Structure 1
Amino acid sequence: MFLRGRIIMSMPDYLENITKAVKFIKEADYILVGAGAGLSASGGLNYGDSKLFKEWFPKLSELGINTIAEAISLYWSADDLNRRNFWAYWSNHINKIRYEVPALKPYLYLFEVLKSKNHFIITTNVDGQFIKAGFNKEKIFAPQGDYGLFQCEKPCCYELFHNRIFIDKMISNMNNDEFAVQEDDIPHCPKCGSYMTKNLRVDNTFVEAPHMKNQNDYIDFVNNSMNGKLVLIELGVGFNTPVIIRWPFERITSRHPNAVLIRINMDYPEVPQEISSKSLCISNNILKVINDIKTKKI
């Protein structure tokens, strides 16, 4: 059951909020991080950035597509008519975001803040940024998929396949004028020969089992924290999939005897009235906030 009722704003002076956040983090026995798309966006991976899209996809920009979000919508699924163009987009998208982009500053700063603390991470992001920044993959629950993996389109099995070799081949041989990969380069499942696809939670064909192995560790972390001070740090989580992080974090905060929710969000910093006394809402750029916390903490 999720918290409902009147939503309130609880945002005093920014520096006062930073000071409080640092104090809560220092005193915490457990820190649970919930990260959404806003965290990566604050580091430059903004799917609504037309300038970034034009730099990365000049050919598509000429066709009137303006952002990564628009391109994802256009090339969301593949069929026999668009498969070569579908993979032209996704091979480049995955290559840019999963392989070319280095660890972003918000993740690096967050690592500095948390490296000596008992922490766990749940994220809807699929860009691999937490791993790039140095976080232990055993302390990350990422149930939505991974840009670095492919799966059988059917699927015929629950196995996932690292995709770097497929990505490199498609990009190196693609027809840039047509924005289409070569037919022979389209990836096929090594098990059954069917087409492969990106490993993202789209529908009931999503191969989720390998991503769920840390779910019990996430649950255990929350349960174990009941005996100590828990700080929940929510970063850039909106309402695309609120049932994964946003609403559960509110519920945990409500039920936990000694928890504080730090919600950092430019667009949706509000919390329900029921947990306002146990929450710290910061409506500011996530990169700036984490850097300020790091600077004051260290």
Structure 2
Amino acid sequence: MKPIEQIAEKIQQSDMVLIGVGDEFTEKKGKNTKEEILQAYQKVMDLVKRKPWFLVTVNTDDLVYDAGVNSFFVVAPCGSDRSGNVVTNEDYDESCYLSQWQYYRNWLTSTIGKKLCILELGVGMAYPSVIRMPFERTVLYNQKSSMIRIHSKLAQVPEEIQNRSICYDENPVKFLNTL
């Protein structure tokens, strides 16, 4: 089965989709252009268009919004370059994302007992407590869930969830754009 078929099948079989976007989905590492990233976001939205979804990103580049992703279903706890409020700033104001984070937590609670597909794109070890570790725990505890992890170097998953995971050792932007 081709990768796109595997991914589409997992998403189609799910009730809901949780998307995590990490730093391999940016221009910062010099591996992707803005145009490639915007196109990859569109591919993701095409894959999940018939499912309830939510997207969590540690990226501050705001490209998720430039791609036309519905911001009502996006939380970016590390901040925004445009607003100048970024987690690495000394005066970072965490309250800017907290109401959206609470909405995300409520959404995540609604996935209990449902077939949840977690699509993790380029999430490495930058802020692992925001996406990577909580997503793994979600798959571990929700026995109806599955994970698709795409990362060029850190695509592996813990042994406890391997049987419900598909991992691709690829740059997620390039991978999605070649599907």
Provide the TM-score with structure 1 as the length reference. 0.55
- Kindly provide the amino acid, as one letter, of the partner of residue 212 in structure 1: L
Report the Cα offset of residue 227 of structure 1: 2.9
Partner residue of 1:223 out of 109, 114, 121: 109
Change beyond 3 A, Cα 1:232–1:22 = same
| Residues 1:232 and 2:114 are matched in the alignment | no
Letter in 2 for 1:26: Q
2:123 aligned with 1:141, yes or no?
Answer: no
Count residues in correspondence: 178
- Counterpart CA distance in 2 for 1:292 and 1:257 is 31
Aligned pairs (5 A) from 1:182-221: 198-202=84-88, 205-221=91-107
Offset at 1:21?
Answer: 1.7
Report the secondary structure of 2:82's partner residue. Answer: strand
Note if contact 2:57-2:77 (Cα within 8 Å) is conserved in structure 1. Answer: yes
RMSD: 2.2
- Counterparts of 1:120 and 1:26, CA distance in 2: 16
Q: Is the 8 A contact 1:226 1:257 kept in 2?
A: no
SS of the aligned residue for 1:237 comes to: coil
Shift in Å at residue 138 of structure 1? 1.1
**Aligned mates of 1:131, 1:118 — CA distance in 2:** 18
- Structure 1 match to 2:25: 39
One-letter amino acid of the counterpart of residue 8, structure 2: V
Contact 2:151 2:170 in 1 (8 A): yes
For the 8 Å contact 1:231–1:259, the answer to whether it is kept is: yes
SS in 1 for 2:29: coil
Q: What's the counterpart of residue 25 of structure 1?
A: 11
Question: Once the 2 structures are TM-superposed, how far is the Cα of residue 288 of structure 1 from its aligned partner?
Answer: 4.1
- Which structure 1 residue ranges, 4+ long, deviate > 4 Å from structure 2? none
- Specify the SS of the correspondent of 1:25: helix
Q: How does 1:1-298 map to 2 (within 5 A)?
A: 15-40=1-26, 45-48=27-30, 104-149=38-83, 198-202=84-88, 205-291=91-177
Counterpart Cα distance in 2 of 1:48 and 1:132? 19
Tell me how far apart the structure 1 counterparts of residues 28 and 88 of structure 2 sit (CA, whole Å). Answer: 21
Distance 2:103 2:13 in 1: 22
Q: Give the aligned residue type for 1:209.
A: S
Q: Identity of counterpart residues, as a percentage?
A: 28
Mapped to 2, the partners of 1:213 and 1:283 lie a distance apart of 34
Q: Which has the higher contact order (CA 8 A, sep 6+)?
A: 1
Q: Which runs of 5+ in 1 are unaligned?
A: 1-14, 53-96, 150-197, 294-298
Unmatched segments (≥5 aa) in structure 2: none
Q: Could you tell me which residue of structure 2 aligns to residue 91 of structure 1?
A: none
SS, match of residue 271 in structure 1: coil
2:122 touches 2:171 (CA, 8 Å); kept in 1?
no
Distance, in Å, in 2 between the alignment partners of 1:117 and 1:270 is 26
CA drift of 1:267 comes to 0.7
Structure 1 or 2, whichever has the larger Rg, is: 1
Residues 124, 143 of structure 1: 8 Å contact kept: yes
**Which stretch has the larger CA shift, 264-273 or 211-220?**
211-220
The verdict on how the C-alpha distance between 1:203 and 1:147 changes in structure 2, with shifts beyond 3 A counting, is closer
